[in-house]
Every structure is written in C-alpha cells, then in structure tokens.
C-alpha cells in the first residue's frame, strides 16, 4: 500500500512543545486518537476527543507507569500487516484496531545523566514502552508512520497539510530510518552509561548531527563531519569549513588550551603543526612573535588566540592571508575589519574541549585511546645533570614542552620562555628533526645561544645534545627512559648544559 490515509493515531510523548498544530490537523481529519496519562490530558485540552489506552487494553497503567502501552492490542494494532489476510483475520478475531500513526518520544535519559542525577532517577529514565513503540512502528513502515522526536513535528505538520492526512511509502520509510537512528542512539547512550563502571571491551559511539563537507582531504574524496559543532563555535564570517580546516582547527584548539587564560597566547598552524607560537604583552605582540618564527608557512594557515582580538591585533592580522582565525571574542571594529575578506573564516570559541577519548578508523576496525591530557610542569621536572635550570629556563622548558606535545613526531622544538624559535616536525629520526629546526631558526635570523630544546621522546644516543651544544643551546627537556640516558647526561655535564626529565613521552602520529 503506497498511500495510507491516517484514520487512527497513538500519541504518547514526554515533550509536548509544538504538538498542538498536529492535534488540530488530526482532529480536522476525523482521526481516532489513542493516548494515556499527561499526553491524553494535553490532547483533550486542545479540544480533541481521546480514547484512553486503558479502554483499548482493558488494563490500567501499572507499576508506577512502567507498563502502559505494552499490550497486544496496542502492538498488534501497529504491527499487523494490512496486505496479509492472516494478519487481518487475527486483528478482527481479537478486536485489534489498526493504528496508522504513532507519535512517541523517549524519556530524557542523556539529559538526566548530564544533570548529575542519582542513579535511581537515571534508571527510571530508561524508556521501555516508547522505544518498543518506535521500533514496532518503524518496522511496519509499509503501513504506519512513526514520529519519534519533537524535532520532526514541523515536518509532520507540513506533510499532513500537503497530503490531506495521508502518507506515501517514501514518507514512511524516511521517518522509519530516522526512528532507528533515534532508537540506536538512545541505546548507545544507555550502554555507555553502564559501561563507565563495567568496562566491557566494546566500542559504541553515536552522533546524530552531521553535515556533508565540500570534499574530504582531497577533492576526489567524499567527506562528512558528525557532531554538534555549534556547541563549540559560532562562525562569524567566511566560507564553509572544509575537512582540512576541521583537522587543523582541532589541532589549533588542542594547542591553545595548553595556555592559561592569564597569558596572551597566539599560535599559527599549518597541516596540524605549529609554525609559530608565542606569549606576548598583548594580542598584537603575541601574534607578531608567533608570525616571526616562520613568515613563509604562516601564509594560508590556521590562527588561534586565547584572548579577544582587538583592533591593534586585527590591523596586523589583516595583512596576512590566512584560512581561519579562532578566538574567544572579537571587538566590533576588529571584526568589521577582518570580515573585509569574504572567504576568511572567523570562529568564536565558546568552550573548551571535553572529550576524554580519541579514536579513528584503522585497518578493519577502530583504534581508541585516552587523549593526552598530561601537561608537563616545572614541578614534574627531575634534574639529571649537575647544572640546575634557572627560573627563566624552567619557563622556557614548560613552554617548549607544550608546543612539542602537539607537534608530529619525531619532533624537536627550540624556544625561549615566550616564543617558539623553530620546530623540526614529522621526521624519521630525532637528529633530522633537530637539524631541520636549527636550519629553520637560522633562516629566520634567530640566535640560538641560550635557547632551550624540547623533545617528544628520549634520546637513544647523545648526538642531539651534541648538536644542540654546538648551537649554544643550554637547557634540554625530554621524557628520559633510554637505556643509554647516561650518555646524554654525561655529555651535558661535561659541557655545562642543564637537562631535565619529565617521565612522560608525547608521541603524536
């Protein structure tokens, strides 16, 4: 049956916002409405007649409302096949009426968990009847329209108006697909709540909001983003975010969140690696110091700051072609200036990242790990050389380590206490990474004497500290842990260099 005239409906919802127009349309079309509890009262307040579910089933709502609609006369009315003579015969024999439309939503389980409610309150928000009605109606989409969320009320209202209270098979199938999306998401949320304690080795993630991107990493690849992006950002200007934009934005946000709100921090990234990071006396100063580290790579980069972008900074930023600028706020005059380039993406960052896990597809499965949330602090330093680090060097080492943590391995960062001088990124050997950093620093006229060096992993040989010493670098931070640590320590002692171990490796692949 392609087209079905809605003659009867079962309505049982938690949220009643914007339901009234649908009730009015059903009433106008002479639809028999079955309902119970608070929904029944609401429908009757709209002036529509209601057949109580209890009258249909001859059973009251029992167990504190836990069992209301779980009955053969309800589920039989939804599930019997209208084109099957056997089903029709049984429906007649047991006086089971057809139900053509089911409007039901689910108890707010995720919202209750997020509120910090007691476990018993959370358990009571695990919907049984609602989820069963959704699955039943969605399964029998050939005959039944399932409306499973208040988000669909507007679409249903339009559908009923345009088709005079009838539905087509294509309509019902689409709503069925959305229903299974809702039910599977709901079950995943419940499982993940229980699995916080049980720790079953299972992986379930569900994101209901998504959008298709212009393309993936390259134009021949299709790309999508799934997640509530608008919770993190407001986009004030620019073209639609691309796959590569999103990857770089993620890297930029992770890096800038290493810095305290009391610091004026600015970073410039290209292909997820920082090409400039600095702390300044104000935003303009921080930007200029970050830009100074690599004035070539900054072109077309993703920029991020942890302070409001003011006019002084905007005037400097406006001289550079960049893809994205992220900040917690923009002064009005600064925003107007920066919006002068229509494709320039300007994002207001509204909150910090909260995810504790990260995952990606790999081989024929998914790999999952905890996010690296360890930030090396001076209190974690273990001085392993005779020479102690100065207070200024401690600050520089902490700064360099923060940048190093967010740079592709193998990596070396050269820095002062408020400026990255250069980086060596994504190299197959740590020596290559260091040589790349030195060459880059010199190409932008930085003096390395007195600078510090950070490494994301231990030195298996003393070659890196030997090369660093030749360039005048005086302090080093690394996790330690090599069976040949003593070789690097001994060289530092012999050449009056200071070195600290943190005990924490920061590989990033």
Catalytic positions are 139, 271
Closest CA to 223 of 237, 235, 240: 240
Instruction: Please answer whether residues 110 and 131 qualify as being in contact, where contact means their C-beta atoms are separated by less than 8 angstroms.
Output: no
Which residues contact residue 494 at a Cβ distance below 8 angstroms, ignoring those fewer than 6 apart? Answer: none
Segment holding 193, helix H or strand E: helix 169-198
Strands (DSSP E) found in 393-490: 412-415, 420-424, 452-455, 475-478
| One-character DSSP codes across 166-185 | EE-HHHHHHHHHHHHHHHHH
Round to whole Å and give the CA distance between 448 and 323: 31
Round to whole Å and give the CA distance between 508 and 132: 45
Q: Which tokens go with 331?
A: 């002064």
DSSP 494: H
Segment holding 270, helix H or strand E: strand 264-270
Segment holding 55, helix H or strand E: helix 53-57
Closest CA to 5 of 168, 190, 192, 205: 168
Torsion sign, CA atoms 332, 337, 343, 346: negative
| One-character DSSP codes across 21-43 | HHHHHHHHTT-EEEE-HHHHHHH
Segment holding 487, helix H or strand E: helix 485-494
Which residues contact residue 80 at a Cβ distance below 8 angstroms, ignoring those fewer than 6 apart? Answer: 87, 88, 90, 91, 96, 98, 140
Where are the alpha helices (H) located in 216-282, listed in sequence order?
Answer: 229-232, 243-256
Q: Which tokens go with 156?
A: 């249903």
Give 356: exposed, middle or buried? Use CB within 10 Å, 0-12, 13-18, 19+: exposed
N residues, the chain: 509
For residue 56, the Cα-to-chain-centroid distance in whole angstroms is 45
Round to whole Å and give the CA distance between 376 and 399: 9
């Amino acid at each position: 049956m392609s087209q079905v005239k809605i003659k009867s409906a079962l309505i049982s919802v938690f949220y009643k916002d914007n339901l009234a127009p649908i009730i009015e349309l059903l009433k106008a079309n002479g639809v028999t409405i079955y309902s119970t509890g608070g929904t029944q009262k609401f429908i009757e307040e709209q002036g529509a007649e209601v057949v109580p579910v209890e009258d249909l089933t001859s059973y009251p709502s029992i167990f504190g409302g836990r069992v209301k609609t779980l009955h053969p006369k309800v589920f039989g009315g939804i599930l019997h096949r209208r084109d099957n003579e056997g089903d029709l015969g049984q429906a007649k024999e047991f006086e089971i009426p057809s139900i053509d439309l089911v409007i039901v939503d689910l108890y707010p389980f995720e919202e209750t968990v997020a509120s910090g409610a007691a476990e018993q309150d959370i358990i009571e928000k695990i919907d049984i009847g609602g989820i069963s009605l959704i699955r039943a109606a969605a399964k029998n989409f050939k005959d039944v329209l399932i409306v499973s969320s208040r988000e669909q009320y507007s679409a249903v209202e339009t559908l009923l108006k345009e088709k005079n209270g009838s539905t087509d098979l294509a309509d019902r199938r689409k709503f069925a697909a959305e229903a299974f999306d809702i039910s599977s998401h709901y079950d995943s949320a419940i499982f993940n709540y229980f699995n916080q304690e049980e720790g079953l080795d299972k992986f379930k993630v569900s994101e209901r909001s998504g959008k298709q991107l212009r393309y993936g990493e390259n134009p021949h690849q299709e790309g999508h983003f799934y997640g509530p992006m608008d919770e993190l950002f407001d986009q004030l200007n620019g073209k639609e975010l691309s796959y590569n934009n999103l990857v770089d934005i993620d890297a930029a946000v992770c890096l800038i969140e290493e810095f305290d709100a009391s610091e004026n921090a600015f970073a410039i990234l290209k292909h997820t690696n920082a090409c400039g990071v600095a702390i300044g006396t104000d935003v303009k100063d921080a930007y200029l110091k970050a830009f100074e580290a690599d004035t070539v790579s900054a072109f077309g980069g993703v920029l991020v700051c942890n302070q409001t972008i003011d006019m002084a900074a905007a005037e400097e930023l406006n001289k550079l072609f960049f893809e994205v600028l992220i900040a917690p706020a923009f002064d009005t005059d600064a925003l107007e200036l920066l919006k002068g380039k229509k494709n320039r993406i300007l994002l207001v960052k509204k909150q910090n990242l909260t995810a504790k896990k990260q995952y990606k597809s790999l081989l024929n499965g998914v790999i999952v790990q905890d996010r690296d949330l360890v930030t090396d602090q001076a209190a974690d330093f273990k001085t392993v050389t005779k020479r102690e680090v100065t207070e200024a060097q401690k600050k520089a080492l902490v700064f360099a380590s923060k940048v190093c943590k967010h740079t592709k391995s193998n990596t070396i960062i050269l820095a002062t206490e408020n400026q990255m001088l250069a980086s060596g990124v994504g190299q197959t050997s740590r020596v290559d990474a260091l040589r790349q950093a030195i060459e880059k620093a010199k190409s932008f006229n930085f003096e390395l004497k007195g600078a510090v060096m950070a490494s994301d992993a231990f030195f298996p040989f003393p070659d890196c500290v030997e090369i660093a010493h030749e360039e005048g670098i005086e302090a080093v931070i690394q996790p330690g842990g090599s069976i040949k640590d003593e070789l690097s320590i001994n060289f530092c002692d012999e050449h009056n260099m200071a070195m600290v171990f943190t005990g924490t490796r920061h590989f990033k692949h």
